[in-house]
Structure 1
Amino acid sequence: MVDQTLRQAAAELLVERTEAHAPAKPLTAAGERILAAASALFYAQGIRAVGVDAIADAAAVTKKTLYDRFGSKDQLVAAYLENRNRRWHAFLDEQLAARRPTRPEDVILTLFAALTDWMAESRRGCGFINASVELTAPDHPAMPVIVGQKRWMRAEFLAQAERAGFQQCEELADRLLLLHEGALVSYRVAAMENAPEVAHRAAADLLASWPRSAG
């Protein structure tokens, strides 16, 4: 099972870096509709292409309600990505519960195997990578969410590599992250539909050949 202590620590770090942009109170029914509509439109059409008018119309609310609830389009974008990150974590928990890996290296491979099912429902690739291409301002409210999500993946690879007793765990975590993220980009940009499977096999080969600490 994924190290729950690490996951909690990473989640707390992400909250600390994004809490200024999160809703100040639980979403109302209208807020839920706005977030759902924005999430679907942002992912399908792109962040820049979707205006607040279209989101308000899709959610059956006024623009005033949208701004009252989220403050700005930029903060709504951050909320969309925060919600997507929560969905990704929940999906990984489901995958780990179903596959029941018993060794740390099997946890790593489960994270890769999960990409196949996730991408089947995410035909436009990784929402975080897509957003990073569109959001060039470093101070955009969504940037900490994007960076935090990728740093969490690397931290997870690092933690499991250390648990498995591999040498040069920092280097191994870097390579695993490049494989993982490269699969997402190749799937979207190069129309390489089997990219998750190729990355999974490459990760398995990498782990099989990586040196372990003595004892």
Structure 2
Amino acid sequence: MNMREKILTIASSLFDTRGIQASGVDTIIMEAGVAKATLYKHFPSKNQLIMAYLREKSDKFYAWLNAQLASNKAESIELLVQLCELMEQWITRPEFHGLPFHIAAVEFPDPGHPINQYSAVLSAELQSYLCKIARHAGAKDPEALGQQLTILFEGAALVERLAPHTGAAARAKLAAITLVHNAT
């Protein structure tokens, strides 16, 4: 693991467990065992570190999801049903701390702040991804289905974060599957 990856790994752990704003640069450099200059060499600002964290979290999610979808080679409606099941699986993992871009948007509520804006980009990216899957699966209106699935997934993720193990993810999955059956 190179120095950039080490700093990002430590920062990610702190952001996930303590919060983004609560994890100051001094805490990150202390936990990573690096000098402040080293952190700023790799991440010129805390905002850039936060954006790298958000990007990495999104990339890991899509890599996992794409691998799962590719391994089962589901087609059409089965692909969408599998997608719904995988979304439930992702947000009920013990290490799930919520959607990082939701947390970042809450911690940086000003719509003009770069972190808030980047969080909105990542949410739109999720919707675009789900629209693409819906299109590939042959949904009648893939844009509408993609948006509906995004709303269900993001909502279930939020409820699961606030009230874990209450069945929100399972109920969202069932609602999503109903939408899928009506959309194909």
Q: 2:39 aligns with which of 57, 66, 73?
A: 66
The one-letter amino acid of 1:46's match is G
Runs (5+) with no aligned partner, structure 2: none
1:113 aligns to 2:97 (yes or no): no
The secondary structure found in structure 2 opposite 1:142 is helix
1:29 aligns to 2:14 (yes or no): no
Aligned structure 1 segments of 4 or more residues deviating by more than 4 angstroms? none
1:146 corresponding residue in structure 2: 119
2:59 corresponding residue in structure 1: 86
1:97 corresponding residue in structure 2: 70
1:22 corresponding residue in structure 2: none
Measure the CA separation in 2 of the matches of 1:195 and 1:179: 10
- Give the number of the structure with larger relative contact order, counting CA–CA contacts within 8 Å between residues 6 or more apart: 1
Q: 2:12 aligns with which of 39, 58, 67?
A: 39
1:199 aligns to 2:172 (yes or no): yes
Change (3 A) 1:122 1:164: same
Matches within 5 A, 1:167-178: 167-178=140-151
Change (3 A) 1:204 1:93: same
Change (3 A) 1:94 1:121: farther
State the number of aligned residues. 183
What do the CA deviations read for 1:1-60 (whole angstroms, capped 9, x no partner)?
A: xxxxxxxxxxxxxxxxxxxxxxxxxxx822221111001000111011111111001111
Moved more, 35-44 or 175-184: 175-184
Percent identity, aligned pairs only?
A: 33
What do the CA deviations read for 1:129-180 (whole angstroms, capped 9, x no partner)?
A: 1111101233434345422322222223323333444434433322221111
User: 8 Å contact 1:74–1:140 — kept in the other structure?
Assistant: no
Change (3 A) 1:110 1:147: farther
1:159 corresponding residue in structure 2: 132
TM-score (norm 1): 0.75
Change (3 A) 1:110 1:143: farther
What is the root-mean-square deviation of aligned Cα atoms in Å?
A: 2.2
Matches within 5 A, 1:113-132: 113-119=85-91, 120-132=93-105
Runs (5+) with no aligned partner, structure 1: 1-27
What do the CA deviations read for 1:66-110 (whole angstroms, capped 9, x no partner)?
A: 11220111111111111111111111122113332122x333333
TM-score (norm 2): 0.87
